[in-house]
Amino acid sequence: MSENKALVTIDTPLLIVGGGPAALIVGTVASGYSLSSLIVGHESKDSDEMFGLDDKAIALLKPHGVINVLRPYAESYEPFVITASLFEKVLKHHCVVNMNITLYDGMELLDLSPDGDGAKAIMSDGETQWLIQADHLVDTTNLATDPNAATREGAAIAEAIVAEKIAAKSA
Amino acid sequence: MPTPPSEEVVLSWFDELSNWGRWGDDDRLGTMNHLTAAKKISSAKLIQEGLSVSCSWDIRTGLQPGATVESQRYMLSTGLGLDSEGRKGLFGAGRAGAAQEYIGMVFHGLDVTHLDSLAHLFWDGKMYNGVSSSQVSDRQGALVHDVLAVQEGVTTRGVLLDIPRLRGVNVLDAADHVYPEDLEAAEKAAGITVEPGDVLLVRTGEGWSRLAEKKSYNANKPRSGYQAACLPWLQERGVAMIGSDVAQDVTPAGYKTVSMPIHMVGIVAMGLWLIDNCNLEELATTCERLGRWEFQFSMAPIRFQGVTGSPVNPIAVF
């Protein structure tokens, strides 16, 4: 074993667990406000079900560049129709390349302990473990999975956390 | 065991390791200024075998692990069927034919071997040498610090530091980070010293995983790489460029505000050019066989106007 192998601590402002498209939306919208996040346990589902993105969802996603990256995968533009599966997969890639978002495949949380607004947890790839220390914890388990509702709910959560941080900073 | 620098220390390097103004207010070369004419000439002496090794991966179509979006190839014309009776034209069988294609890709990411130009990253709204990030726009791309800064190509001494070879493993564990102490141990093992103007290639063995795991390979995972502690070492040695078989930085780096310190401090503060996702497997094998870990390095980035880097095929010549 290497002498450089050690438990690395990941210090993150926002830990997002629970999966689904809402997890990706929370991370994306938070990133728009320069708030970094770590998304753990996200798995994209395969589904051919078509969704038409409504005006509200488009308005929320557009400032974050999401509509641009979704466009090549859309069935039609007006209305903006895309399968739920592609919506989530493309959005996930958008998160992976976002420097404010950390999202890996094949990771799981071995332990999650809420700590005030935040949490402490252990992330593992089956071989190595990382200690996570988060200022805020968002669990998207019970949030909507259809793209429109997930976008609204995820964006609202991210904006509430950002507003809280801004208020705390100016207090 | 080396101690990782604190986030406060890493953030202080944006000032302490800054090369802003060092080579003039209009400098666009950054650490490539270390590459002198004499250095280029001396690198020719390293060609002794007449042997070339590519340090790049194939660029493939379809969604690849670690790719931002899938690379696209659209054939405008092909040779399909030109040898069959059914494709004979009005004037009989055509003797001449041609194939041509449109190619589109996002080379940044974890798949394509590519060079990051100094317009690739911003910190506090600035690029290298204090240039405003607004100089990279939707309409015009990078007006400053595009890849044309190195349009004359890169020819210099290349050095491979093979860290898995030191450890006696095929690939470094994700939590096994590369520190300056490892770079110096690898130098000692190879009997070489990294010098100003060199292109430094550091192998973590990720390419070995990529070849071994084939289609099941997952690029989007925690990986080893240069720990942020290497930044002062790279500045002190005066390397012209660095490359690796990963995207340089360990991931996760563990810092709250700077997720890729080698990228951020390196590109923005130091003007350090990075070659991400190299294929160093054949190079490592060749170095081992020849018993030398230095070679002439050459690379010709594509002259993309206004673009923040280029897919590249770095060549090591022995």
DSSP character string of A99-160:
TTEEE-SS-EEEEEEEETTEEEEEEESSS-EEEEEEEEEEE-TTS--SHHHHHHHHHHHHHH
pLDDT at B88 over 80: no
Chain A residues closer than 8 Å to B72 by CB = none
Q: Which of B69, B167, B221 sits opposite A2 (nearest CB)?
A: B167
Domain ranges of chain B: 7-59+107-317, 72-105
Does this complex have an ipTM over 0.85?
A: no
User: Token pair for residue B70?
Assistant: 């899938």
Residue B115: which H helix or E strand, with range?
strand B114-116
**B69/A102 touch (CB, cutoff 8 Å), yes or no:** no
Per-residue pLDDT, A44: 72
Which residue of B lies nearest to A95 if distances are taken between CA atoms? Answer: B68
Pairwise CB contact (< 8 Å): B220 & A9: no
Q: Which amino acid is present at A122?
A: I
CATH topology of domain B7-59+107-317: Glucose Oxidase; domain 1 (3.50.30)
Q: Would you call B221 an interface residue with chain A, using a CB distance cutoff of 8 Å?
A: yes
Average pLDDT, chain B: 94
The Cα–Cα gap between A158 and A60 comes to 12
Tokens standing for residue B315: 């060549």
Q: Looking at residues B220-242, what average pLDDT do you find?
A: 97
Q: Can you give the pLDDT at residue B140?
A: 92
* Cα Rg, chain B, nearest whole Å: 21
Q: Once rounded to an integer, what is the mean pLDDT over residues B154-180?
A: 97
pTM: 0.90
Can you tell me the distance from the alpha carbon of B260 to that of B266, in angstroms, rounded to the nearest whole number? 10
- The predicted structure's pLDDT at residue A140: 95
Whether A4 sits inside 8 A of B220 (CB atoms) is no
Whether B215 has its CB under 8 Å from any CB of chain A: the answer is no
Q: For the beta carbon of residue B42, count every other beta carbon within 10 angstroms.
A: 15
B168 pLDDT tier (thresholds 50, 70, 90): very high
The confidence score (pLDDT) of residue A2 equals 44
- When pLDDT is cut at 50, 70 and 90, the band that residue B156 belongs to is very high
- Report residues of chain A scoring pLDDT below 70: 1-6
Give me the domains of chain A, ranges plus CATH numbers: 8-170 (3.50.50.60)
* Record: contact A10-B252, CB cut-off 8 A: yes
Q: How large is the average pLDDT for residues B212-217? A: 88
* Distance, CA of A37 to CA of A28 (rounded, Å): 9
CA distance B106 to B26: 28
- Measured CA to CA, the distance from residue A54 to residue A39 in angstroms comes to 26
Nearest to A128 among B4, B178, B222 (CB): B222
Residue A125 with chain B: CB contacts under 8 Å:
174, 221-222
- Does the CB of B70 have a partner CB in chain A at under 8 Å? no
Closest chain A residue to B217 measured between Cα atoms? A105
Q: So what's the pLDDT on residue A127?
A: 85
Whether the link from the prior residue into B252 is cis, omega within 30° of 0, is yes
- State the pLDDT at residue A4: 45
Determine contact: B34 vs chain A, CB below 8 A.
Answer: no
Interface residue B254 vs chain A (CB under 8 A): yes
- pLDDT digits 0-9 by tens, B24-64: 999 999 999 999 999 999 999 999 999 999 999 999 887 77
**Which residues of A fall within a CB distance of 8 Å from B4?**
8
A26 Cα to chain B: minimum distance (Å): 17
The reply to whether residue A69 touches residue B173, judged by beta carbons under 8 angstroms, is no
Q: Which residues of A touch B1 (CB under 8 A)?
A: 3-4, 6
Question: What pLDDT is recorded for position B4?
Answer: 93
Chain-chain contact of B252 with A2 (C-beta, under 8 angstroms): no
Whole-number pLDDT of residue A72: 86
* pLDDT band at residue B80 using 50, 70 and 90 as cut-offs: confident
